Amino acid sequence: MTVGERDAIVAVSPAKPPTGARARDGAKKHAGSRQLSLFDVEDAEAKPAPVEVGAPPPTVKPIAAKPALSRACARMIDERPSRVLCVDDMPAYSDEAHESVAPALEALPQAQLWFTYKDIQFFFGVSRATVARRLREGLVPGVRMAGSSVVEDAAVRRFDRGQLKWLLLALRHRPRQHGR
């Protein structure tokens, strides 16, 4: 090879295999693939014969369910005798005390029916511990008591407007005593 014969050298290299859709379609044609693309027409003779069902499937046996929680983790059910406090059990408050809590209840959102500890903290600035103490003292109706303990009624305790009224009375005023 001399200078200037650069064009005379031709490299013989294998052809680069096609990629993408052309490679996929070409491979199907050449390899006789049975995989069809979305727009291929299936031959009627290439369909497999329908499968005949010989015997019915065996019956299904139900599995014995395990309890969701083990006995060590399950909540204990309080079997002590309990009673629900009612309005008749509440101490007597003056008429002025009842009138003083009415504006606070009217200021609450009308669409909200139930109030949690967090709501009471937000609207009135009263902590959960203080509310729990008033419940334990028996100053809120509708609370179930077992002895001197408040029985948990759900995972989240919710108060209605009637219970909030009595709670606010217990927080803001001392009950009047008849003997003095």
Can you give the residue ranges of every domain in the chain?
A: 85-172
Taking only the tens place, the pLDDT of each residue in 24-68 is: 555 555 555 567 677 666 655 566 666 666 666 667 676 666 555
- Ranges of residues in the chain whose predicted pLDDT is under 50: 179-180
What is the maximal distance between C-alpha atoms in the chain?
A: 131
Q: pTM score > 0.75 for this model? A: no
Taking the C-alpha atoms of residue 170 and residue 136, their distance in angstroms, rounded to an integer, is 12
From the list 85, 67, 64, the residue with the least C-alpha distance to 138 is 85
Q: How far is CA 126 from CA 14, 48, 104, 129, in A?
A: 84, 75, 13, 8
Task: Supply the pLDDT for residue 51.
Answer: 65
